[in-house]
Amino acid sequence: MTDNGQQLEMFHSETFDITQEPEEVFSYADVDTTFVVRLHELDNIMLGCIKRSQEEMATMGACLLEAKAYLPHGQFTKWYKVRYGLSKTTAWRMMQVAQGKELTTKTVVTQLRALAQITFSFIFSRS
């Protein structure tokens, strides 16, 4: 069997946990075998994006933690909500990441959706 054929067989038989919750899994068994290798490549690209996004979340969380130290009591939440449209949950999770606490992939994806909506709103509210 060729390397690609071996890869295809390996990817086709794998079951991937997409949410880190045992009851939700994805199996490539029902996918047309011509697309399995490409889907795996796309999966790796997307996982790389999530990793970079976690790094960005950590940077933003560190900024939030530092800003919190400079703002008077009761002003921090107002500051990030008004300036960036962040929800309390999103800001809290960013700060958790900055402090080295790991989030599940599912949580990161949820936060990315929230950030995408915030970014879109933020950009167009400033134009």
Of the given ranges (33-42, 50-59, 93-102, 118-127), which has the lowest mean pLDDT? 118-127
What CA–CA distance (Å, rounded) separates 18 from 6? 23
Q: How confident is the model at residue 17 (pLDDT cuts 50, 70, 90)?
A: very low
Residues 35-90: tens digit of each pLDDT: 888 988 988 888 887 778 778 888 999 999 999 999 999 899 999 998 888 889 88
pLDDT in the model for residue 110: 66
- Which pLDDT value is given to residue 127? 54
CB 115 within 8 A of CB 90: yes
Of 12-26, 75-89, 105-119, the least confident: 12-26
CA–CA dist 31, 19 (Å, integer): 19
Tokens 């008004």 belong to: 82
Range list of H helices, 1-127: 3-13, 33-70, 76-84, 88-98, 105-126
AA letter at 84: Y
For the chain, what is the domain count?
Answer: 1
pTM for this prediction: 0.54
Mean pLDDT to the nearest integer, 18-35: 71
Helix axes 33-70, 3-13, angle to 10 degrees: 70
Structural domain including 68 reads 3-126
Angle 6-11-14 from CA coordinates, rounded to 5°: 125
Choice among 7-11, 76-80, 97-101, 121-125 with the minimum mean pLDDT: 7-11
